[in-house]
Structure 1
Amino acid sequence: MKLLLVLCFSMFASAAMACTDFSGNYRNGEGVQTQIQQSGCTSVTFSNVEGTGTIITDGQFRVLQDDADVRILTSAAFVGATLNLEGKFEYKQPAPPEMPSEYIAKRFSMVYTKSNSGDVVAVMSVYNSQNQVIYSLTDSYSKL
């Protein structure tokens, strides 16, 4: 009985630690090629013509950009079969008074999933301070 409990617990623990492997070479609908290199469940590196960036997938917020106008913080984590990237904007200057607050981005999310054929689908949503979606985009990356 004890052995059965140990086996069940170890299977549950390894299933909880598993994450989707997004590693590979991809092309989006506009022909831009992207290479993804993944280091287990701890980090993911994206490389394309725009540059290279690595995200640590521990769910902790980190500074992505910090300039005179805005500070952008992002976090990433594997949740089930998806890679979830969250971001928030901290504006350093007030918006012009003529700019309606419902059009000012406050946070964003990007959810990456992998299809059975190996393609990657990314869904990005941008939210205002009332948590309403002000922009949404779905992009597909075909496995090369």
Structure 2
Amino acid sequence: MPLLLSGQKFRTDLESFGCLAILSPLEGGAETRLLRRLRASGYQTQITSARGLGDPVVFLTQLHGIRPPHLGHQNVGRNGALGEVQQVIPQLNELLVEDKPLVLWLLEGQVLSKSELLAISNLCQKEPRIKIVIEMGGARSIKWQPLNEFINKD
């Protein structure tokens, strides 16, 4: 299969559209081959799950606060009933320091809402160094399309 030999078509589509929705075989393997081809052509890669992202743009690119889980009795005088807010650095912050382009591969993208997918698509347009691939489910063979087309198809 020519795709698995070079990955050239996938890479050119990713560079031209910036954000792709992908359907890959459930047994796996195809996505790691594509990631290996992207790394060989000079991209940095990051794989993460779409579950628990919250606001994807803030989580990926901005300093944001999180509340750790409640672990029993808390001192009411210390941060009250809301709990302590901890500041977390953005996930892509340290990867964007270099001039190399970055590919973020999001697993389980089918849990994202339409508005979250639109926000991710807008992030790719604002920051040209970030390319995002979102796995939107399974298929018998690997298929991809621009994320905007995937969103508007529904």
| Normalised TM-score (structure 1) | 0.25
| Normalised TM-score (structure 2) | 0.24
Greater relative contact order structure (CA < 8 Å, 6+ sep): 2
Q: Which structure has the highest strand share of the two?
A: 1
Q: Which structure has the highest helix share of the two?
A: 2
